[in-house]
Chain A
Amino acid sequence: MTAYIIRRLMQSAAVVLAMSVIVFLGLHVVGDPVYLLIDPQADQAEIERTIRRLGLDQPIWIQYFHFIKGALTGDLGTSFVHGTSALKLIVERMPATLEIAIAATLMSIFIGIPLGLYAGLKPNGFISKSIMATSILGFSLPTFWVGIMMIMVFAVMLGWLPSTGRGPTATFLGITSSLFTIDGLRHVAMPALNLALLKISLVIRLTRAGTREAIHQDYIKFARAKGVSMGRIVGVHLLKNIMIPVVTVLGLEFGNLIAFSVVTETIFAWPGMGKLLIDSIQTLDRPVIVAYLIIIVLLFVIINLVVDILYSVLDPRVRIGEKAT
């Protein structure tokens, strides 16, 4: 077990390192940020001073070496545009992104599971068929278009919800979040739902498939024969068994949610990490792009690692320590 974890850790570190090289080298090929950032009127001396200040005059491997040295001490470079630490910029915006990602995960659980259960228990009903048809739409609709339509309907036409931005925050149990204020929740509703649509569809399908499979199992039949009420069978016996894949997938998909928040945040002008990435790509703010990508790769690697380890702990059938094929 320990050997397995150590090996997985080393693999993960290698992935992060490889990604950092690819990203760093890749970004060096693009246009020179110096000319984007310096006033075109500036004279040669001024340009050179800026190049030296940003460290862009040194050979690329030295720049990369400085970058790695900094990264290990938590310094991922200084933003060209904002003039502050790239890591700090991202960390500052992380709570906003985590907020909609968590809200979206909760939505997919509390909307997806009941609908999936219903569709699994009554597979031939009209409502079930509508649920499944809608979930297909959830898969094929482009997220950004749905977001725009949501703004059009709920903000412009009906005027129920604010169209953009994040609401006021409040601190509760040491966590500062806009989820704790009424206005904050009103702001979070649309972006979170937009982000959750794909996951809701996924959870509906998983839950339905799990229910359809489990309902014919002996333990359900036995519980029925014993006279257990239908509510208890579904709520306790069935749900417990179908939750394992659902929770696993949701865990794995959490990283996906954060990646996809790039789109949602742009539509709803949500001040999170994703919006920062898009702005940085447009201004060629290299350190921020690199820092964002490193952090997201790290996040993915950690999520995958945790899920792998948890899985092997929870399910003894997953033989660990064996050579992966």
Chain B
Amino acid sequence: MSVTDAGPVAAPVRQPAVQTPFARFVADFTESRLATFAFILLVVTMLLALIAPWIVPQNPYDLAQVDIMDSRLKPGTPASSGKYTHWLGTDGAGRDLVSAMLYGLRISLLVGVLSGLIAMAVGAAIGLIAAYVGGRTESLIMRIVDLQLSFPAILVALMLIAILGKGVDKIIIALVTVQWAYYARTVRGSALVESRKEYVEAARCLGLSNGRILFRHILPNCLPPLIVVVTVQTAHAISLEATLSFLGVGLPQTEPSLGLLISNGFQYMLSGDYWISFFPGLVLLATIVVINLVGDQLRDVLNPRLSK
């Protein structure tokens, strides 16, 4: 910003506030009330998941705290120990549903966010290299990307799970393998555009190394579309993990995510005990929708074609 005349005006006219790019970004983002609300909800959800062990009435996986006699209690029933009330009922093993859901949310978010970030790192690096190196390497990488994207994610994930087996680490590997291609394609697209711009040429004339140009000059300029893909893909990852866990081929019973809770409750659904599946499903749904809403708004804000 430019400082204009600092003349002897007694009552200073209000200067246009200094707008850092970040402040502008925040202002643009909060323009949509729905997205702001979704963002706040997302932060609250993440906080709840983070502090779950300290706020839930029981540790649902500590057998000493769970009473099997309390199984399938209706929402609002007091616990047999009398210390707290099962506001959302209990599941088939007598676990307090609120506690189980918050623990499940922790695992779902952990798996989703972690696999989203790893996939981004891997995919972005590969995409950047493809765009920068060009030639045969590029066409080989993009062929693999196209091939993988022509198969549905769930099929690729199932195949990997069949090969790798169960477990948190295995699921994350599967999700990363499913998702890296989206990042690679996005980054390659914007890196191709960026690498033809003058600042890259200038950097090259200065004799900077390839690595430095790639990661310090081109990559930061590819970030906006990447951030949008991260949000959308994280929501996908959470949904996909829940689906795999529901199918019984995802996380093991010892580390139940929301999908597994829903799956466990499904067997009681037909006898009318709806809450065991219903509430974890609502939380899962809310998480996915909230992330998507934030992602949508990010796309609008970060899209240079739409900026005013």
Bound-complex Cα distance A23 to B285 (A): 33
Do A278 and B249 touch (CB < 8 A)?
A: yes
Do B162 and A304 touch (CB < 8 A)?
A: no
Report B301 CB to chain A, min CB distance, Å: 19
Q: A242 in the interface, Cβ–Cβ < 8 Å?
A: no
Number of contact residues on B: which range applies? Answer: 35 or more
Q: Please provide the chain A residues from 132 to 168 with a CB less than 8 Å away from any CB of chain B in the complex.
A: 137, 140-145, 148-149, 151-152, 155-156, 163
Do B150 and A142 touch (CB < 8 A)?
A: no
Bound-complex Cα distance A304 to B269 (A): 40
Number of contact residues on A: which range applies? Answer: 35 or more
Q: B88 in the interface, Cβ–Cβ < 8 Å?
A: no
Q: Which residue of B lies closest to A25 (CB)?
A: B163
Interface of A is mostly: helix
Report B18 CB to chain A, min CB distance, Å: 38
Bound-complex Cα distance A43 to B95 (A): 42
Bound-complex Cα distance A148 to B246 (A): 11
Bound-complex Cα distance A255 to B288 (A): 25
Known: A23-B159, A281-B158. A30 touches B152 (CB 8 A): no
Report A294 CB to chain B, min CB distance, Å: 11
Bound-complex Cα distance A143 to B161 (A): 19
Report B102 CB to chain A, min CB distance, Å: 18
Known: A23-B159, A23-B163, A281-B158. A163 touches B270 (CB 8 A): yes
Residue from the list A142, A143, A151, A289 in contact with B162, Cβ < 8 A: A289
Do B154 and A142 touch (CB < 8 A)?
A: no
Do A281 and B161 touch (CB < 8 A)?
A: yes
Contacts of A15 in B (CB 8 A): 147
Do B164 and A156 touch (CB < 8 A)?
A: no
Q: A262 in the interface, Cβ–Cβ < 8 Å?
A: yes
Q: Which residue of A lies closest to B288 (CB)?
A: A140
Q: B262 in the interface, Cβ–Cβ < 8 Å?
A: yes
Do B154 and A260 touch (CB < 8 A)?
A: yes
Contacts of A140 in B (CB 8 A): 235, 239, 285, 288-289, 292
Interface of B is mostly: helix
Q: Please provide the chain A residues from 273 to 315 with a CB less than 8 Å away from any CB of chain B in the complex.
A: 277-278, 281-282, 289, 293, 296-297, 300, 304
Bound-complex Cα distance A259 to B269 (A): 25
Do B248 and A152 touch (CB < 8 A)?
A: no
Report A8 CB to chain B, min CB distance, Å: 13
Bound-complex Cα distance A143 to B262 (A): 12
Known: A156-B269, A281-B161. A149 touches B281 (CB 8 A): yes
Q: B132 in the interface, Cβ–Cβ < 8 Å?
A: no
Q: Please provide the chain A residues from 1 to 51 with a CB less than 8 Å away from any CB of chain B in the complex.
A: 15, 23, 26-27, 29-31
Do B243 and A30 touch (CB < 8 A)?
A: no
Q: Which residue of A lies closest to B159 (CB)?
A: A293
Residue from the list A29, A145, A152, A259 in contact with B163, Cβ < 8 A: A29
Contacts of B155 in A (CB 8 A): 259, 262, 296
Do B249 and A259 touch (CB < 8 A)?
A: no
Q: Which residue of A lies closest to B290 (CB)?
A: A140
Q: Which residue of B lies closest to A301 (CB)?
A: B150
Q: B87 in the interface, Cβ–Cβ < 8 Å?
A: no
Contacts of B249 in A (CB 8 A): 278, 281-282
Report A107 CB to chain B, min CB distance, Å: 19
Q: A256 in the interface, Cβ–Cβ < 8 Å?
A: yes
Bound-complex Cα distance A139 to B235 (A): 11
7 closest A-B pairs by beta carbon, nearest first, are A26-B163, A259-B155, A259-B152, A145-B281, A144-B246, A281-B162, A142-B239
Given contact pairs A140-B285, A152-B269, A260-B152, enumerate 9 new A-B contacts (beta carbons under 8 Å). Answer: A26-B159, A26-B163, A30-B162, A140-B235, A140-B289, A151-B270, A262-B154, A267-B266, A289-B162
List chain B positions with a Cβ less than 8 A from chain A: 139, 147, 150-152, 154-155, 158-165, 235, 239, 242-243, 246-249, 259, 262, 266, 269-270, 272, 274, 277-278, 281, 284-285, 288-289, 292
A-B contact pairs, 29 of them (CB 8 A): A15-B147, A26-B160, A29-B163, A140-B285, A140-B292, A141-B285, A141-B288, A143-B243, A144-B242, A144-B243, A144-B262, A145-B277, A145-B281, A148-B266, A151-B270, A156-B272, A255-B152, A263-B154, A263-B243, A263-B247, A266-B246, A277-B158, A278-B247, A281-B158, A281-B249, A282-B248, A293-B159, A296-B155, A300-B150
